[in-house]
Every structure is written in C-alpha cells, then in structure tokens.
Chains A and B, each alone.
Chain A
Amino acid sequence: MAEHALVTEGLTKAFGGFTAVRGVDFAVRRHAIHALIGPNGAGKTTFFNLLTKVHTPTGGRILYEGTDITHESAAAIARRGIVRSFQISATFPHMSVRDNVRVALQRRLGTQYAFWRSIRSLSVLDDEAMALLSDVGLADSAEANAADLSYGRKRTLEIATTLALDPPLLLLDEPTQGMAIDDVDRIKRLIRRIAVGRTILMVEHNMSVVADLCDTITVLQRGEILAQGSYDAVSADPGVKAAYLGGGHA
C-alpha cells in the first residue's frame, strides 16, 4: 500500500474565467488527521467538492489508494469508502434517528432496489444501528425524528450515519461550525476516537480544533497551497500570517 491514502496531482477547477483551484499537488497520509484551512474564498470548499465529485475538475488527477478516481461518480467514490459530511447538518429529517443510521447500513444488504420486500427485512440491522447510536450517545433519541434533534445532536447523528459505512477515508466539511462550546468539545472527542484506523481530512475554521486534532495542516489561498506542515510550523509562517491578517499580496 502507498503511504498516502489520497493524492491530488495538479488539481484545477475553473469556473468560466475564474480559477477557484489552481494546480494543487496535495497528499493525505494514511491514518492522519489532516486539516485544510484558509481565508474565505481560498477555494477550500471547491477543493472539497472536487474530491467528492460535486464538481468535475477541469485539470489534474485524484488518486485514492493509488487508483485514479478523477472521473468516477459521487456515489461510486462513496462506495469505495470515501464518505463526506456536509457544512450544514445532513440528516434525513423526516426519518427516525435509528432509520437514519439504518439507511447507511442498508447498502450492505444489497436489497436497496427490492421494492417488493417487506421493510421488516431491514430489522436485522436494528441492533447494529442501536450500537452505533449508543456509541455516539444518541441511543435515547433513537425513535425521535431527526428534525427534532438539537443542532449539535444532528451533527452527531451525521457522524454516526457516516460511521455506519465504516469508511477508511472521512471528509469532514467544517464539523464544528455553528456549534456551542460544549458540543465542540464533544465532537472533538468523537473525531479523535473515530480517527483510529481511519484517515480524516477536514475543512475547519476553529483553530483550537485544528491545533488539538490535526497532524498536518494545509493552508490554501486563492486556490493554491500557501503553506503545509504541523500546526506550529504553519502558524509561524509569515505568508500565512499575512494572509490571515489581510495584509499580504504575495
């Protein structure tokens, strides 16, 4: 196996005349927690969307475990084990908390097109869904509608749903955005716990989260990599300081 789980080579995305991501060479080490940061408009979200195939790159390649996945569909790369979370909470609001997790588990049964079978055939997954929910502390709300959960708990449910797929590579888009401080700590602990044996790439604004969790940080600015390295190295970088203070026109 290669040392890196995910590699991009010269990844580029242009929207008409505007190049949001420009020739990014980037690699995520296996089993690392890697953060992607940068000022607003740096191209973080576009880069993330390229990795998860929301957008199609206009140039360059994306390699996952050495395989070129540049032209695969979003659903296909999810089946390879690259699962993303969303900036705003992504649950199925009108389904129960347990069914949210069960929908993710269901793919394994291979009966997702079986419109003639009873829904009771899914109850074999109930125990596992409940185990995942108690693992993240949501077991007491299993029967509630996902829409009725608090914001922090919705994000927790999202993580439980993602874990149901047991993905080797997790892409988290601002996992603590808009959260109260208690919830941030809880999500932080949760991420550290689930990172065991997995690779995590996250976009995050909260620097305390980045400092506490991440081994490697990549700073993007105007669609290009500005700096890369450990938190201390990156935060000492004069270019990064300039970019964040708004003074730099490098």
Chain B
Amino acid sequence: MNPNNRPRKQQKGTPGQQTRWWVGLAAGLILACAIGGVDARVSAGVDTNRPAAPEWLAGYQIRYPVFVPEAASLTAPNSVMVRLPTGGWLLPDARDVAVQGRDGRLIASAVLSHDPRGFTLVQFKRREHDEWYWIYGVHPNPPPAIDAGLLRQIQAADAVARKALTEKMEMQKLSAQAAEALRAVRDRVDQATATSNAAAREIASWEPLLAERQAKVDAAVAQVPPADAALTAATAAATGARTIAQERLARVQKLDGEVRAASNTWGMARSAYLVASNALAAAQAAVKKATPDKIGAARQAVQTATEAYRTSEAQIQTTGKELTQRTVQWREAEGAALPERMEATRLETLMETARQDRAQKAAQLQKAQASVGEARTARDRAMSLRDSSAAILTEAAPQLPDLKEAFEIRHTTAEQAAVAAQAAVAQHTRLVADADPRVLREGLTVEFRDWAGDELTDWATVYEGLNRSESVIGNGIVPAILQNFNPVRRSEPRNFAASYRGYLKITEPGVYRFLINGDDAAFLFIDNYKVYSRKGSHAPLVGRIPMYGVGEEIELEAGLHPIEVHQVVGNTPGAEGRCALLWLKPGASGWSLVPPPAFSQSLIGTPAGVEARDGKPVAIIGWGIDDTLVSDGVFLSLVRFQAVGSYPDGARLSWNFGDGLSGVGETPAHVYFQTGDREVSLASHPTLPPFKRRIHIWSAPMPTSPFSLAAVVDVFRGWNPDRLSRAQLDSMFAVLTLCGQTNRWDLQERLCERLLAQKDLDSQYRMAVQVARMDARAAGGRAAEALNGYRAATNEVNRLRIPRMRLMMEGARIQQVYLRDFEAAGRLYDAILDEGRRIRHPVVRAAATARGDLYWDAGDWAQASAAYRAAADLGSDAVADLDPTGADQDATRGALLRVAEQALKSGDMRQSQRLLKRIERAFPEQKLEGFYRFLRAETDRKLGAYDDAVRNYEAVLKLPAWSSYRAATLAGIADAYARAEEWNQALEWIKSLETGFPEFYAQNGYAATATRWAAKGVATTNSLATRLMDFDFDHTFPRVNENTPDDVMPLLGRENPGVLLVAIEKARTQGLRYSLNLPKLTAGGRIWVEFWYTAEGTLAPPFDDPTVTIEVKGDSDEISRNREGLDQTYGDWRKYAHWFVAPHSDSAIVVLRLGALTRGLYQFDDVRVRSVSDAEAERLRQFIEGTDPQ
C-alpha cells in the first residue's frame, strides 16, 4: 500500500513492530551493499527479534537500533557499515556518533562520510554473530573515542605506516617501471627474434626456389638461338620465292594490260564495222528508192559505203586476231605464274610459324627471368629483415640481463618495502585494533560533493578544489567503482566530485594496469600513491580500448591495498557523469571493470528505527517521486513523503517542503513545480532540531499515471493559497484549468480569488482567471453567481473587444449549459457576431458555430444551417498568404475527413478527434453532414466524452439522408451509456436496436452484450471495487521453504501488511513471480499497473539492472506483455508503472515477474492494478497535450 494513502499501522504499534518495519525500509535503502565476496544468507528461520536494548549511553540524545542481517550466518567480514539517516542532527564533523553492543559496551567506530542533509556512513567492528547494535548520535560535547596517550602512539604509528606505504608504493612504481622497461625491451627483442627467424625461414625457402627458377631461365635461353636460325632460313626462302612470284606476277599484269588494250582496239573496230554496215544498208536502200536523176549519186554512195564497210571488216579481223593472240599469251603467263605464287605463300607461312616460335621462346625466357627477379627480391627483403633484426638483437639483447637484473633488484626492493610497510601497518593496526574499524580494511564507499574548484589541469589544482568542495551532497556504500550518471542529481550530471574509498583485494601479485574511464578528470591512488591521472575535460573512451597507451601500471603484491578514486566533472557540456575503474590484470588480454569481489567488503547493517532518549516522538524522512507531469510548459512533480520512526500521533508531525510550503501528517504528498534540489525538514521531537533531508526533483522517465492528476488536486487542496508565491499560483492555475478533474472546482474558485487579488496581473491573464472562476462557480452549482462575475469582468475589459468577446462566449456557455437559458445565450452569441464581423477573429467564427449549435439543439435546422454557413465566412484561424508562388494549399475537407476516418479505424482516436475538430473550425457547415457527426460520435465515445457522443449520434438519427447509419448509431449510443455505466439507458437503446435492426443485432452478438450489461447493472453499486484493486504482496505471497535459495523469503515484512522483503543471494539468478486475478473488468480500455520498491542501493549497479516482466492475460489467452528495466523513478522509494491494453474479457490474470535482481534485500510495497476508464485516460491525454493539441 502506498504510504500516501494508507497509514502504516505498525508505526503506531509496539516498538518491536516499528523496528521490523524500519529494518525493512532501511534494508531497501542499501540494496547493493551486500553485493560482494561474502557468502551472506538471510534465511526465513533467522530470529530477527530485537534483544532488549542496553542502557543509554550518557549524553546522547538519539539512537538507532541497527540490524545486521548476515551476521548470524557469516564469520567474515569483521566490520559493519551502516548508512545512517542523520540529516541535520549531528555535529558538523559528526564526531558525536558512538556504537554500542547488546552488552552495553562501546564499540570502536568511525565516520566515513557525513552529509549534513542526508546520510552518515558509519563503520564499526562486529561482535561475533551479534545481529543487533545501537548507534548513538546528537551529543553536544562527545567524549574522545580514544585515550590521548594511545592517540599519540596511533598517530605516530600511522605516520610511520603512511611513510612506509609511500616508500613501498614508490618502490613498486619503480618496480613497475622497471618491469615496463624490461617488457618493452623484451617485447622488442622477442619481436626482432621472431622477425629474424621468420626472415631466415623465408630466405631458406627462397634459395632452392631461386635455383630452380634460374634453371628454367637457362633452358629458355637455350631454346632461343635455334628458333632464331629457323626464322632466318624461313625468311630467306620466303623472300626468294616472293621475288620470283612477283616477277611472274609483273609479267602477267603486263600481259593483262595488253589484252585490255587489244580488247579496246577490237571494240572500236567492231563499232566502226557496225556503223559502216548500217551506212551501206542505208545507201543500198537509197538506190532502190532513188529517182533516175539521182540514182547515180546513190550508187556512188553505195560504192563509198561498201568500201568503208570492207575497210572496217578488215580492221575487225585484224584486231580480233591481235586480241586472241594477246589473250593466249596472258593465259600462258598466268598459268606459268601460279606455282611460284603458291610456293611463295607456303614459304611465307613457314616464316610466320618460325616467327611465332621465336616470340614464344622469348616470352618464356622473359617470364623465367621475372620469376627469378621476384624470388631474388623476396630473398633480399628477407635478408634485409634478418639483418635489421640482427642489428636490433645486437643492440637490445645485451640490455636484457641488465634490465632483468634491475627489475629483479627493484622487485626485491619493492617486496622488502612491502614487507616493511606491512610491518608498519601491522604495528599501526595493533595499536588501533580496538580503536578504529578502518584498520580492518573493509568496505567501499562513495561521497559526492558540489565541485567548488576551478581547473582540472592537474592533481594539485584538483586537490585544492576538492578541499574547497566541502558541500557533501550524497554518499553511499557501493559494490564497485561504477557510475553511469550523477546518482544524487540525475538531471544535472555536471559540477560534482565523486570520491570512492575502499580496499582492493589483490590475490594474484604482479603488474596491473589501471584506467578510470569517465567524464573529465579522475585520479587513482593505491596505498596513498598516485597511480593514475586523467586531467582536464574529457569524454569517456568508447569502443574497444587499446591495451597499452592508456592507463598506468603498478606492481601490486597480494593482499589488501587502500584505494581512492577522485573524479571531478566540471561544467562540461555533454558530460553524463560517468566513471568506471577498469583494470588490465597480469596476463589479461583486455580491459575489464574491477569487479565487486576485487574489493574487500564489509557487512551491511540496516537502521531499524530511531529513538529519542526522553522517549518523545522522533522521526526521519523517507521519500519517492510518485509522478512527473508536464503540460504547456508547466512542470510538476508529485512526491510522496513518509515519516519513519517512533511517534504516537502522525498528525503532530510538521513538515517543511523546502519551497515555502509546509504540511503535517505521517505520509504527506507534495507537488513541486521545478526540478532541482530541495531541503525538506520534518519536526517531530520537541527539542531536537528538525530532521533535514535534501531531495532532488527531476523529470523521471516514467509513464504518467492517469490517477496522478486527482492526487495533485488533493495536494493542492491542502495548500493555503495565501502562502503561495506568484510562480506557484501561476503553475497551480495552469494545472487546475487543464487537469479536467471534477474535484477541483472549489479549489479553482479559491485560487482565482487569490489571483484576482494580485495587482500586477496581466489583463489577459486576469480575464482567463475570471473565466476560470465563472467556470468553477457554475460547475459548483452557482451559475447565477458566475454570471454576476461575468458582468463584473465584462466591465473590466470593456474597451478590449476580443477579450470581451471571449468573456461573452463564456457567459453564453454558462447560460446555455448551466442555466439552460438558450435565448440569453443566443443573444450573447448574436452580440458577438454583431460586433465582431469586421474583426475577422476566430472567436467570431466560434460564436457563429455555437449559435448554430443552439439552433440545432432547438430543432431549427434551417437557422442552424444558416448560422453554420455564415460562420464559414467569418474569422478563420487559417493563415493568409500574400505570396502568389507559395500559396498554402490546406488539406481539403474531404481529405481531412478521410484521414480522420482512417485514424478512427486504426484506433488513433485522439488524432481522429483532432482532425474532426480541425474540420469543424475550418468548415463549420460540416456539422450538417451525417457522416461527420457519426465520426465525431464514434471518436467522442471512445475518448470518454459520452455526452458529446450521444449528442452527435442523435444528430445522425435526425438526418434522414443518413438512415443507413442508423443501426450503428443506435449501437453507439447504447455503448456510450454502457461506458458511462448508465446501464438502464444502455439496455433501452440496445433494445431499440434489437427491435429496429434484428439482423444487425444478431450478427454482432449484441444479445450477449445485453446480458453482460444487465449483470453489470445489478452489480453497479460495486463499481468502485470493479475499477480499483489494490493488492499487497504478502496477502497471498507464499512462505517458501528456506532451503530453496532461488525463491523468495518473506522476512521482516511478513507481519507487515504492505511490504515484502526479498533477500536475493545470487545476483541475476533469482527473481520472484506474482500473479493476481482481475475480476469484473470493464470491456475495452486499459489497465494501469504500478508498484513501489526501495532502490537507493542500486546506486552504481555493476551488472544488468533488475528487470520486470508483466503479462495481462485475458480469458481467451489474449496477452499484453511488457518487459523492461526496473529502475524508473528516483528517491528512497521508487515506482514502476506501465499501461496495458485490457483484454476483451470480463476477467484477466496479471502475472508479474522480477528478474536479474542484484544481491541484497529488496522491499516491495503495494502492487496496484487499476482499470482505466476512457474518460480518465482522455483527461490525462488532454492535460499532457495542453491547450493547443495538434
């Protein structure tokens, strides 16, 4: 059970019960402290009853009973560390601390770290198997813990021991340096030897290869001359044959020319013959036709033609003979030339073959020669390497014996120094054995301080800065040196110093290399000797870290070595506050985190209560961030506090929350509006100063609870507005006007009154406050009074038209919604329209639309239609565009409607609603269309706005053109009433669906739905139980066998209804499983699961974070599952929370598994599973999205 809402009865009970609860709380505060090499086990059989308390130590005002869970079963370690909540009670140096055993005797103790506004780390020697001790505090003049003479001896021995340790470390550093020099030379020699050997092997392999390849060259060389000779002979033969062939060819060509000439001559003679023949024929024909007087001439012409004919005939014969003769000669010559030409061709082929053969032989020779060249080059390179390696060996190898000797000398010296130092330390240890538990060399702590230094340039500067950094802001007992952020200021990882102090347990002597990987400067000291420095501003190394070149080496002997790590993160942008100590162990092949077993660990005690000497009430502060909500630039953090201690009446506890506000009670909740540190105080004891505690508010990465807004309003209700600062008033106003909670009205009215009394209120803000006050009054049933406020407010903004119109809108809304005076509302809307038409402001369009709604509700569709259409011409909120080239083309109404429909179908109701509202603003006349109304109704119904949904559904029913939607509309109305848990109405509408659309009714299984709704209606009086289910772990948590180490052991919390303590012994091997039934689920919707646990001890988790897996299983094996890291919020108490989709069944099972729990004691408190209604989810969504969602 969350302490915020259920007081812990045991705190008011017997001291024993209080103690048990206290042990539980504190066990959770230091979870990680039990991680380590010890073999601790807390079994269910351990007697945890506190023994009778010893007599009070004189002078001390308070004491804390401390329980050491593992003391009964373990024989080692020898000391106990306790993280004691002392905030503000102790002296500045916390020397007023003393530890007492059950026998009443004092036990040597030491304060390891003291945070005046937080915890004090105390260490003391254990008394065998005693489980109970008492730590005292608050003494005005505490006695010295040690006798003065002994103190002087101890101081002297301490000085000797420190000096001896320093000398030892110097010797060991020299030894490490010698080892490094030896390693470097040895590495060089080894490398040269290896190189030389490899080169020799290579030379040896190349030599025979070279000879073999040379032989191939020789063979190839021998083949070249014969090829040359053959080529020469072939060339000569081919040349001779070619000459003869060419001569023959020349003759053939000459004869060919003569044949052509003869042919031409014959051709001309033939042409002349044909001409003469034709002329003769013509002359003869002319004789036949000639008249007697011309016959003579004709005959003469025949004579002449005949002569010509004969002459040409003779010529043709002569030239024909010549042609024949020449042709015969050409053929003879051609025939004679052919054999020579063929012979020449053959010989040329032979010559070409010989040439190719010669080229092949030359290529073979060249290849063989190249191969020899390669082999020779490789051999020469290997020889060169061999020679250079030999030179290195000649130079370095002789150094080895000297270096080896030097190392051995230094190593021996270091060993001797180590022995001397051990002796000196032993002497000191003997002296302080009973005076200072630190000599036991156990435990690892960290202390965080505000960094007050300047530079990070070197250790001297940082040391000076650390000395100035006196403000301790946190401390803890840790298992390893590892932080992934600033654990005490999660939201501000800069300007802090972390100092880790503990003892390194070396089991394997040798040379170790250390590296601190983190943000900015870091320094490592071992045995008071500075081993490693990282100066200046740096980001952490990422990726694979090289083995050498980073870090520093030191030789360490086996045993325990004091170790300190100082890390400083300056004002470095991007710093995350990381720090990790890594090492390279002897022989290791890579860096690794120095693991928890490498540190000497102590037992961890848990404060089990706080008591005042005078028996009066006394309490300290526990706290945790419940939720973080951000909206419209307003941040608010809901924080839970609880008083832990001995007090009979929680109502007398007085709190100061550090922001000017105060409260009373044992489990108050508070709201902070800003991140950062706050100093919270709790006054419980009449004379003791208030307990003070620094808390850090930050925006925890956690799902926001749908129930937090109601809790925030409850917190506000406890505040006195007169004590709030203006900033708080502003934030509160913003939250109240956005949260949508129905329990806020009276508070909102009071706040508005307070704000209106402010003189410097901006007029627009003032108007918003006026409107909020009117709203509150009207919602509170005082609508008439609200209207009075409206009139007064109107006078205030009379000269400002737009604010006045906004106010008139609000007045109209009150008239319409609360007074049902539609005429008056209409008049106001009309007045806005009359005045505002020229202004073109969106408020005017809104007034017109609202006017249309009024008409619509009155059934005057014509007027409504006119009003909607008129609204479309009034001031739009769309952006006008003056640029003709870049005109905004806003999405069309049809496109928006389609997108809205798709969003609705895909289940994105919020987006669908946003789009539909956007459509309504841009296109008011859309309200006249049934499809738009139907989509609005569907969206409103699923977002929990049931009234709006029903109104829109009814609008669809009124539109005859959309009768096809009638069945779905009836079903929607019925479902809206069912979701609103108005079962009778729901059943009436489902009945009308059955009557009107029996087929639709049957197809969609509404009969079963109606039956379920009827059953719900019977059980409606139990609706709260239906929706709110709180389960404490130990109600059903099984008591397990103590011999089953992998299970859970309910230990100290078993008598405490509300807290489960879990002892985990083996990191990551154990977990727990828990399941619970969820009956009577509301169909659909979602489920919210949250639980609280203590987690301060997870500071610097070295391994995987614990994980949580939650499954919600419905009746039909429908499962919603989530698995993630457990670490979510921050504070003493942390919260895990997640949403789940509710199964579509009437009941479900929630299964919760916690795994990878690191070793230690866990305290789990209050698993809460709630069904989240649509309206609750929607209110949260609206708050987060703010006044102007997309």
Do A and B come from the same complex?
no
Which residues of A are in contact with B by a Cβ distance under 8 Å? Answer: none
